[in-house]
Amino acid sequence: MPPVAAELTGSWLRRMALASGLPAQDLVRGILNGSQTVQITGTPKTALEAYLNAPARSALARFTRVPQSRLYELLPQLGPTHPRLSDDGGPQAAWFTPAHAWVTACPQCTARAWSRRQPVLLYPGSVGHICRRHRRWLLANAHGPASVPLGILPEVMAAHRRHVALVRGVAGAAGAVAVAAAMVWSWLAQQWWIGDKLWSRRAAALASLTGCPAVSVAAHALIAYPETISVAALLSNPQWQQRLRQSASDDGLRAAKAMALEDIGRWIGRPWLVDWLTADARTRRPGAEERDPLQWWLGQLTGPNPSPGDLWCVPDSLARPVHYGDRLTFLTDLRVREVIDGAKAACLTGGWEPVPHRPSPAGPHHSSR
């Protein structure tokens, strides 16, 4: 039983255990058992992902008869060794919370590996959150299939095609998406989504597909996904960046920002964006510009000797909040507890997110998708 590409190591071990008729912990202990004492931290009931040290990875390869090099290709978190484990001594394993977002695989695409008792769990990487073949946004549910059909949301599928092209054609595309997400979030957080026809329609569609109130789904990444990808494509365009640099040099940063907003507004189908934000800025507290992701990005772009990496490392204080509940606090006047339960039941609070760019940890076997 080989692993599925990008599968959680813990997911694969659970599937092998189910096929063998064993508890997952007993399977792991059996794989690692030898002349040396086996050390296992945690249990499959307490966390989803399994981490192995170097001796344990070697034992896994021997047991499954799959070369380690192939396992590293298929299992993104198999190596390097987790910081809480050591390669000294005998084999070690640990069950920890996954370090990255994960989703439940499309059951049609993984039919041979699928089981009702143990679904295939995957790391979506940059663009694996949508199954293009079956037109579904994949959600995170460790107990069964979970996804959103996108037949009534063709703009989301179109955005995913642009997203894939962006990742393939632009270095640092994930960082550009993170910065774009921060910008779009800064507008969404002003409860713009309530009056915006496109966002309101998507929220209503997602609510009807999941059985949740619209306010419960408003914090999901799907709502602003098309605009986020459009803005990311614009931000990563070298010709557009040069136009902004020239505008800032000739007329100052304020003029460059006005130009950027006009272009973004046209690009995402909101030509009124610059007027709306200008009017809104008059009522905001002093210092609001310092918390504006677009203002920050323009400062990076037009600063002295900017490096490409500087454009995409959005500060945590400006980034789109990672946790679903944190985002909900900006989008509703209701208590979060009153609206988040429905989102949790519909598996909307986990899964893929346009997370801020962070340097990849060094390691001989680290890989990212």
Could you report the per-residue pLDDT of 320-347, keeping only the tens digit for each? 999 999 999 999 888 898 899 999 999 9
Q: Classify strands 121-122 and 92-96 as parallel, antiparallel or unpaired.
A: unpaired
Between 188 and 113, the higher pLDDT residue? 188
Maximum C-alpha span of the chain: 73
Quote the pLDDT of residue 178.
96
With a cut of 50, say whether residue 369 has pLDDT above it. Answer: no
CA–CA separation, 237 vs 6, rounded Å? 30
pTM for the full predicted model = 0.91
For the ranges 197-206, 213-222, 256-265, 274-283, the lowest mean pLDDT is seen at 274-283
The DSSP line for 256-321 is HHHHHHHHHHHHTT-TTHHHHHHHHHTTSPTTGGGG-HHHHHHHHHHSSS--GGGGT---TTTSPP
Beta strands in the chain (DSSP E): 39-41, 49-52, 92-96, 103-104, 121-122, 130-131, 136-138, 147-149
Quote the pLDDT of residue 132.
97
**DSSP-derived 3-state class of residue 93:** strand
Q: Residue 123: beta bridge partners?
A: none
246-300: pLDDT as tens digits: 999 999 999 999 999 999 999 999 888 888 887 766 666 555 567 899 999 999 9
When pLDDT is cut at 50, 70 and 90, the band that residue 17 belongs to is: very high
Q: Is the dihedral of CA 265, 291, 357, 124 positive or negative?
A: negative
Region 118-127: what's the mean pLDDT?
95
Between 286 and 96, the higher pLDDT residue? 96
Quote the pLDDT of residue 289.
62
Q: Classify strands 39-41 and 92-96 as parallel, antiparallel or unpaired.
A: parallel
Which single residue is written with the structure tokens 């993104």? 76
Spatial contact of 85 and 331, defined as CB atoms under 8 Å apart: no
CA distances (Å), 108 to each of 58, 219, 231, 366, in order? Answer: 32, 28, 32, 29
Cα angle, residue 187 at apex, residues 212 and 297 outer, rounded to 5° = 130
Quote the pLDDT of residue 307.
79
CA–CA separation, 45 vs 47, rounded Å? 6
Quote the pLDDT of residue 277.
80
Between 303 and 306, the higher pLDDT residue? 303
DSSP label of 162:
H
DSSP label of 363:
-
CA–CA separation, 180 vs 233, rounded Å? 9
